Amino acid sequence: MWEKKPLLLIALATAAILVGTTITMVLPFAWVNTETDRIASVTPYTPLQQEGRDIYIREGCNNCHTQTIRPLVTEVLRYGDYSKSGEFVYDRPFLWGSKRTGPDLARIGGKYPDAWHYKHMDSPRSMVPKSNMYDYAWLRKSTLDPVMSERKMKVLGFPYTQEQLAQLKGKNELDAVVAYLQKLGSDIAWRKAAEVTIVGELKNPYPDTAHRSMEEWEVIYSEHCAACHGGHLEGEIGPHLDGANYTDEELFSLIFNGIPDGGMPAFSSLGTNKVWKITNFVKYYVQGEDHP
């Protein structure tokens, strides 16, 4: 019957929409950047990181990578702690993005050592064989210009000291991008907090490992570990691995949780079964033996 009273219908519809708008838009805008929203440990970008951010925008990295993790179980398991609004106070413009041709980068900081990033940017396929990301080795060829940076900082009103600006000397664009990537999402100490205590007894499901063929496990190792630890555990970006140094349980937990801020990523997302397979491979691989 309301539809026969257009004015009343308009008034009621407007009211209904306004309630939604207020709750989902107006209030959050009012809350943003208030004291409760700030996170004390979030610091501004250094000049080098800021230059890296500008190059990231110039190269359109944000066309393939988002920088925001939604509070959904699948995203948190894959990428890490969900993004907090207080983490973006120095991001102007923000780079949340909407297209994930590549993975989200909001928590990339500290996930890998610098050396991994240099190799990956030089040639993504050297670290991730099926990657379709472009090579960015040429960024090494352009050195940064501290004078330009200083001008930019003045326009933007960033309070950088001469000392900080001096750190740009001799650095190239790739250094800047890597410095920027290592900063992303690392201002809050979420990695340690994300460590999982596995409930129940940790029990190796493949107890007779020493006597079986490890072909299948070697494939999993090659896919996830070889880029950093070498095809034969000999070490590369990460250290040489010697299974004799660990008990099964220690090794499993180490691979499952990674080494927070040590550049050793967590592999919990592979699931316990795969992590056990890798654990056994590392533990019982014998250098020099014939591995089919």
User: Which parts of this chain interact with ligand HEC (CB under 6 A)?
Assistant: 56, 59-61, 63-65, 101-103, 105, 108, 111-113, 116, 124, 128, 131-134, 136, 177, 181, 224-225, 227-229, 237-239, 241, 251, 254-255, 259, 262-265, 267, 278, 282
C-alpha atoms less than 13 angstroms from C-alpha of 191 in its C-beta half-sphere: 23
Distance, in Å, from the CA atom of 98 to the CA atom of 104, rounded to the nearest integer, reads 10
Q: How far is the CB of 87 from ligand HEC (least distance, A)?
A: 17
Closer residue to ligand HEC in complex, CB, 28/262: 262
Distance, in Å, from the CA atom of 226 to the CA atom of 235, rounded to the nearest integer, reads 9
Amino acid letter for position 168: L
Q: How far is the CB of 148 from ligand HEC (least distance, A)?
A: 19
CB 140 within 8 A of CB 172: yes
CB 171 within 8 A of CB 48: yes
Could you tell me which residues come within 8 angstroms of residue 46 by beta carbon, excluding any fewer than 6 positions away?
164, 167, 179, 183
Closer residue to ligand HEC in complex, CB, 88/116: 116
CB 204 within 8 A of CB 248: yes
Closer residue to ligand HEC in complex, CB, 168/264: 264
Q: How far is the CB of 28 from ligand HEC (least distance, A)?
A: 28
Of 56, 17, 2, which is closest to residue 178 (Cα–Cα)? 56
Closer residue to ligand HEC in complex, CB, 69/181: 181
Closer residue to ligand HEC in complex, CB, 88/136: 136
Q: How far is the CB of 128 from ligand HEC (least distance, A)?
A: 4
Q: How far is the CB of 80 from ligand HEC (least distance, A)?
A: 10
Amino acid letter for position 276: W
Distance, in Å, from the CA atom of 190 to the CA atom of 25, rounded to the nearest integer, reads 28
CB 278 within 8 A of CB 267: yes
Closer residue to ligand HEC in complex, CB, 47/263: 263
- Show the tokens assigned to 146: 């501290």
Cis peptide before 47 (omega within 30 of 0): no
Could you tell me which residues come within 8 angstroms of residue 233 by beta carbon, excluding any fewer than 6 positions away?
240, 241, 242, 282, 285, 287
Q: How far is the CB of 107 from ligand HEC (least distance, A)?
A: 8
Residue 107 burial (CB count, 10 A):
24
Closer residue to ligand HEC in complex, CB, 44/129: 129
Q: How far is the CB of 89 from ligand HEC (least distance, A)?
A: 22
Distance, in Å, from the CA atom of 248 to the CA atom of 224, rounded to the nearest integer, reads 19
Q: How far is the CB of 245 from ligand HEC (least distance, A)?
A: 6
Closer residue to ligand HEC in complex, CB, 150/188: 188
